[in-house]
Structure 1
Amino acid sequence: MLDTPGDVPATRETPAARAKGGLLVVGSFVALLFAIELVNMVTLHALNGVFGLRPRSADGVLDIFTFPLLHANLNHVLSNALPLVIFGFLVFMSGLRVFLTAVACSWLGSGAAVWLIGNGGVTVGASGLVFGLFAFLLVRGFFNRNWWQILLSVVLFMAYGSILFGLIPSVAGYVSWQAHLGGAAGGVFAAVVLKARGAARRR
């Protein structure tokens, strides 16, 4: 009897293959940020004025989808690149769906916060994504009751917990604490959403 396509067992993705995919996806995104910044530098950062996020403006709503791709200067990109690679890779190790959910919630949360409560001017930068992915990694283990994820969150908090001062307006200085706060809230929301989906699938 010949096997039909439906009889073929699904193959599980190996950790090595997932790690390779994570490095490719996250590395490509960071490379894109550097490429955009090079174009931005050539145009004297004219892109920021067009696609940066302007709070409480009607056309600024669309800028929610573009402002994390832009930065004030090369050092700004560099400051976000390493944590994006580290946090993004760790999130991706839980799967592409988890990664995309965490990124989307962090992206939209960061943009919505800036649009609603930003101080004015133009906001750019991917730091909201950094805070969102970091917050997701910090809380997901507690929602999932997964001791390995909780242990990872403790290690990450010890190593990078100081960045949470960027949520405090009086400490954040010239950076957008609104973007940080919104991104972190989005990361926590992503953990809640993914927990709910997981519980629904088990019913």
Structure 2
Amino acid sequence: MTQSRIRGILTVIGLTAVMWILEFLDVLFGNALDTYGIQPRDINELGDIFLAPFLHFGFQHLIANTLPLLVLGALVAFSGLGRFAAASLIIIIVSGLGVWFISPASSTTLGASGLVFGYFGYLVLRGFVERKTSDIVIMICVLIFYGTMIFGVLPANEGVSWQAHLFGFLGGLLAAYLLPKRQRPAPLTGGYGASGSYGGYGGY
């Protein structure tokens, strides 16, 4: 495993740990951090789209997001730290803006579910874009174990932000499409009778 991949996976673990620390602080200070959720169409609150994914409405909310965030985030990070960071930023922006534009005016949206759905969308489309065995295998496994997530982009339970799910998913698709393909290394060449071979793929 390359250093970039290791750093990417450690970053996922670190981000998840930060979410837990923030939730402990939120409880300690009487849910004061919940005010940093996304307030639709309030221009003064637009910057909160970068904070909201790391905050949650209680530990039950955080627990529900933790495992899929770790699993799907680690699979994205397997492409390398740079690609993980770029994909995460695209997902956060698209998901946050979608919530900001179309969520009900009186709502406040927090949570990592936009990222979770974004990583899901990224991994599914990346298998088609890259057309590499590893990406296709990951895509198939994600569809098998998390395929029912797709229904979360539809309006369903009251109090659940389907807007964050939908636009997070779209952000993941956009990231998979926009980020450049990982280049295959050039074949090695040698003298008489030498044959070329492909080495491992580096992270982005």
| CA displacement at 1:20 relative to structure 2 | 3.5
Aligned residues: 183
Which residue, 118, 132, 141 being the options, matches 2:127?
141
1:37 equivalent in structure 2: 23
1:112 equivalent in structure 2: 97
8 Å contact kept, 1:53–1:123:
yes
Amino acid at match of 1:167: V
Structure 1: which 5+ residue stretches go unaligned? 1-14
Amino acid at match of 1:61: L
Q: What TM-score, normalized to structure 1? A: 0.84
- Residues 6-21 of structure 1: pairs in structure 2 closer than 5 A: 15=1, 17-21=3-7
What percent of counterpart residues are identical?
A: 37
Computed over aligned residues only, the root mean square deviation of the Cα atoms, in angstroms, reads 1.8
| CA displacement at 1:144 relative to structure 2 | 1.6
Which residue, 179, 184, 189 being the options, matches 2:169?
184
SS of residue in 2 equivalent to 1:64: helix
1:88 equivalent in structure 2: 73
> 150-159 or 28-37: which moved more?
150-159
SS of residue in 2 equivalent to 1:59: helix
SS of residue in 1 equivalent to 2:43: coil
Amino acid at match of 1:179: A
SS of residue in 2 equivalent to 1:154: helix
8 Å contact kept, 2:9–2:78:
no
Q: 1:52 to 1:141 in 2, by over 3 A?
A: same
Which residue, 61, 84, 87 being the options, matches 1:102?
87
Per-residue CA deviations over 1:57-77 (Å, capped at 9, x if unaligned) read 111211111111110000111
Amino acid at match of 1:97: G
2:61 equivalent in structure 1: 76
More helix by share: 1
Per-residue CA deviations over 1:73-131 (Å, capped at 9, x if unaligned) read 00111111111111111111111111011101111111000000012311110100000
Which residue, 12, 23, 37 being the options, matches 1:26?
12
- Distance, in Å, in 1 between the alignment partners of 2:115 and 2:55 is 12
Amino acid at match of 2:175: A
| CA displacement at 1:19 relative to structure 2 | 5.0
> 61-70 or 171-180: which moved more?
171-180
Answer yes or no: is 1:162 the counterpart of 2:148.
Answer: yes
Structure 2: which 5+ residue stretches go unaligned? 187-204
